[in-house]
Amino acid sequence: MAKVRPYHTVEPELAPERNVYHDQDNCPYGLRIEPEHLRLGEAGRPKCLECERLDRR
């Protein structure tokens, strides 16, 4: 697991709690983002809870 530059999806998410940014290379939610929907940056979103959990490992 490694920190990476923050990234997010531009594809509308089904649940509002998924409207987050990621910064871990092995986040299972971040890995589901299709390449054409991936954008760099936080986009003013909160950090993914799974990425936060991975930070604490």
Structure tokens at 48: 């993914």
Q: What amino acid is encoded at 27 in this protein?
A: C
DSSP 41: S
List the one residue out of 57, 40, 52, 47 whose CA is nearest residue 18.
47
> Is the overall model pTM greater than 0.85, yes or no?
yes
pLDDT tens across 1-57, in order? 689 999 999 987 666 667 899 999 999 999 999 999 999 999 999 999 999 999 988
